[in-house]
Amino acid sequence: MNQVPAPAAAAQTDVLIVGAGPTGLTLAAALAAQGVATVVIDAQAEGANTSRAAVVHARTLEVVEPLGVSDRLVALGLQAGRFTIRDRDRILVPIEFGGLPSRYPYTLMVSQAVTESVLLERARELGVVVRRPCALVTSSQDEEGVVATLSDGSQVRARFLVGADGMHSLVREQAGIGFDGGTYGESFVLADVRLEANEAVPRREVILFFSPAGLVVVAPLPDGVHRIVATVEDAPEQPNAAYVQALLDTRGPQAARAVVREVLWGSRFRVHHRVAQAYRNRRVVLVGDAAHVHSPAGGQGMNVGMQDAIALAEALIPALAGDDAALDAYEARRRPVAQQVVTLADRLTRMATAPRALRGLRNLLLSMLARVPNFRRTLAWRLSGLVYR
């Protein structure tokens, strides 16, 4: 980055946060709770109202509890105590969250739009103002801080700049930090649907169906909605009810049919697996999807981002008092977590998308492993995030 002096008119703050997604909002609330001055900007006129992440794990609820958001989220979500991997009707791996040593022994099912609105509400109560639509255009840094030029023509001088600006992070790019990894060949289709009420799909369970035709995930959301995610060669832009029904008929439960009544929202996406080469370039720090992206298998993305944000807030407090080493400790603590999550999501994705010829063997191996209590327990600890305490 170039050394550019700040003009006299630049607004001053301690931390400039670029991006008001779940990660940026968590960080803003956590810093505001400690009395740190922040400026938060987001390029979009308003928050996205699509569901995307549907899962908040136990560890995430634990780390945001001091901010006063966990009880609000719990009140709005659905508690799923069980996660199973099935081959049509046969349970290959049952994972119970009920025995986890946490105040939150379950997976909380709630749409990302609701999670973001709870975080925004709390951040506002703590005095955070989100400037939007307002994009970062350029930034430069010197020994004292960072100067950012914004799309409304104004400038902000901050002691630290945080890139919470998602997978295509401009902050990461301008800081010259590489984003290593790749992209999966298959695409994912995603739909929020209403199903006929019957015994085909238990209401408080997240199910990964591994079938010869491929993966389909059926996960409950509040208000009688189910999230369906499937891997397909070439996903349609807008999956309709017939398309989702065919996925469930060929991959989902057989003894009792899961019948789609209505598709509320649908989308498709390609999945990348990447981790930033570094989380920091002097006074510029990365957090959330700007630092790591991976498959949605295991529902980890937003969760890791929110946990990063709490760890970064804890590191920025000493860094603002002159102890920059705290930011190195943040990277040393959180980058390995991202690498482990990318590996877990990658294993689940590769298992789910195994070539047809290997799927029988995969199912046999999984059902054998599932008989080992330690295997089931380890998976529950990793999925819930409690292993990263």
Minimal distance, residue 233 CB to ligand FAD, in Å: 18
220 binds ligand FAD (CB under 6 A): no
| Residue (of 295, 235, 236, 305) closest to 271 by Cα position | 295
Q: Which CB sits closer to ligand FAD, 302 or 354?
A: 302
Out of 139, 295, 300, 349, which residue is the one contacting ligand FAD (CB under 6 A)?
Answer: 300
**53-82: which residues touch ligand FAD (CB under 6 A)?**
53-55
Q: How far is CA 169 from CA 16, 134, 268, in A?
A: 15, 15, 21
Minimal distance, residue 159 CB to ligand FAD, in Å: 19
**304-343: which residues touch ligand FAD (CB under 6 A)?**
305
Out of 6, 16, 17, 20, which residue is the one contacting ligand FAD (CB under 6 A)?
Answer: 20
**195-214: which residues touch ligand FAD (CB under 6 A)?**
none
192 binds ligand FAD (CB under 6 A): no
Region from 17-25, 234-242, 329-337, 367-375 binding ligand FAD, contact rule CB under 6 A: 17-25
263-292 footprint of ligand FAD as x/- string (CB under 6 A): ----x-x------------------xx---
42 binds ligand FAD (CB under 6 A): yes
Region from 52-60, 89-97, 321-329, 331-339 binding ligand FAD, contact rule CB under 6 A: 52-60
Q: Which CB sits closer to ligand FAD, 23 or 363?
A: 23
Q: Which CB sits closer to ligand FAD, 141 or 300?
A: 300
The angle subtended at Cα 271 by Cα 138 and Cα 336, nearest 5°, is: 75
Out of 24, 239, 266, 385, which residue is the one contacting ligand FAD (CB under 6 A)?
Answer: 24
Q: Which CB sits closer to ligand FAD, 77 or 288?
A: 288
Residues that bind ligand FAD (CB under 6 A): 18-24, 41-44, 52-55, 112, 135-136, 164-166, 170, 190, 267, 269, 288-289, 296, 299-303, 305
